[in-house]
Amino acid sequence: MMNIQTIGFVACFVGAMVPAVVISLFGVSSQDAMSIGERFHAQTSHSRRGSPAEESRRQIVRPPTFKEYPGVRLIELAPPAHRGVRVEEAIARRRSVRSYSTKSMTRAELSQLLYAAQGVTSERSGIQLRTAPSAGALYPLEIYAVVNHVEGIPKGLYHYNVRRHGLETIREGDLSRQIRAAGLDQQSLGEADVVFVLTAIVDRARIKYRERAYRYVYMEAGHISQNIALQAVSLGLGSVCAGAFYDDEVNTLIGIDGFSEFSVYLHPVGTLE
Ligand SMILES: Cc1cc2nc3c(=O)[nH]c(=O)nc-3n(C[C@H](O)[C@H](O)[C@H](O)COP(=O)(O)O)c2cc1C
């Protein structure tokens, strides 16, 4: 006599096997039958039969490790000084917060958040290591900040200069409506004091990891975003990570081409009542 769990397991197993049997019986190649996501996963897998596909038809040229905007105004940020709650407490208290108060974030808080995200913590063999891990220490991610309400920093779009721990001014102006619209009209993006936009310069990682690098940039964005989330808790701020956005609209807003550098994740942060 089979119990309900066993019946469920058998049904799932048969369900999973039928397409594979049909494919092999009728000679349909498994590649043809795969969805784009399944193909991506299969072709970027390591296995004992081989390494991820070398898809790129062009020669990959190593991009510089640090993206910098020469000649623009750099807003220097104070070194991180905050001593907050224990990490266990921050982990336990973290919750997605999508609505914020009208108070402004301080410049020190913004500095602390950026440092938690991508600050340089030590140097080894000439490589500046950062707060979040990165495959091969290649650091393919960049951070932009859409500033809406931060004391002493005009509203606008900024790029985080990792080496100098400062904000490079890309353009000033109120971009809250634009970032909200590009983010599927999510209220959190329009209300936040700052919206971090994480982008990937994928060739920094691709030069070593080939097409598997596309997996790594998403993993790394998760690490950075979690640092932001926990730092926000420790500062008494609210935040949420957001993967839902119109890619082309966010890319255009930031001023990147969407191929050599593309948006990966948004992370609004704001003050609480
Ligand atoms: C990859 C990813 C994408 C997400 N995208 C969004 C989003 O676009 N908008 C949003 O409000 N929350 C987004 N979230 C937050 C989840 O909704 C949230 O983490 C989940 O409801 C669990 O709640 P908690 O974060 O409070 O634990 C996302 C979370 C992850 C991990």
Residues 187-198: what's their mean pLDDT? 98
Ligand 1 contact, 208 CB (< 6 A) = no
Q: Which of 46-50, 70-74, 77-81 has the lowest mean pLDDT?
A: 46-50
pLDDT at residue 129, as a whole number: 98
* Confidence grade of residue 222 (pLDDT, cut at 50, 70, 90): very high
Q: Whose CA is closest to atom 13 on ligand 1? A: 242
Distance separating alpha carbons of residues 273 and 268, to the nearest angstrom:
16
Distance separating alpha carbons of residues 270 and 104, to the nearest angstrom:
8
pLDDT at residue 106, as a whole number: 97
15-45 pLDDT per residue, tens:
444 444 444 444 445 667 899 999 999 989 9
Ligand 1 contact, 98 CB (< 6 A) = yes
Contacts of 65 (CB under 8 A, 6+ apart): 138, 139, 204
pLDDT at residue 48, as a whole number: 84
Name the CATH topology of 74-270.
Answer: NADH Oxidase (3.40.109)
Q: Are strands 127-130 and 156-161 parallel, antiparallel or unpaired?
A: unpaired
Ligand 1 contact, 186 CB (< 6 A) = yes
Residue type (1 letter), 137: A
Residues 102-109: what's their mean pLDDT? 97
Which H or E run contains 157? Answer: strand 156-161
pLDDT at residue 54, as a whole number: 66
Q: Rounded to whole angstroms, what are the CA distances from 10 to 7, 15, 24, 25?
A: 5, 8, 21, 22
Q: Which residues make up the CATH 3.40.109.10 domain(s) of the chain?
A: 74-270
pLDDT at residue 30, as a whole number: 62
Residue type (1 letter), 15: G
Contacts of 164 (CB under 8 A, 6+ apart): 74, 76
pLDDT at residue 273, as a whole number: 86
Whole-number Å distance, alpha carbon 67 to ligand 1 midpoint, is 29
pLDDT at residue 246, as a whole number: 98
What angle, 0 to 180 degrees and rounded to 10, lies between the N-to-C axes of helices 213-235 and 107-118?
150
pLDDT at residue 50, as a whole number: 76
Q: What is the three-state SS of 129-140?
A: EECCCCHHHCCC
Q: Rounded to whole angstroms, what are the CA distances from 167 to 177, 198, 221?
A: 21, 14, 19
Average pLDDT, the chain: 90
Is the confidence at residue 231, as pLDDT, over 60? yes
The two tokens of residue 144 are 């932009």
pLDDT at residue 12, as a whole number: 40
Nearest one of 99, 156, 78 to 270, comparing CA atoms: 99
Residues 64-76: what's their mean pLDDT? 96
Q: Which of 43-47, 92-96, 125-129, 235-239 has the lowest mean pLDDT?
A: 43-47
pTM for this predicted structure:
0.88
Residues 181-208: what's their mean pLDDT? 97
Residue 170, classified by CB atoms within 10 Å of its CB into exposed (0-12), middle (13-18) or buried (19+), is middle
Q: Which atom, in ligand 1's list, is nearest to the CA of 245?
A: 8
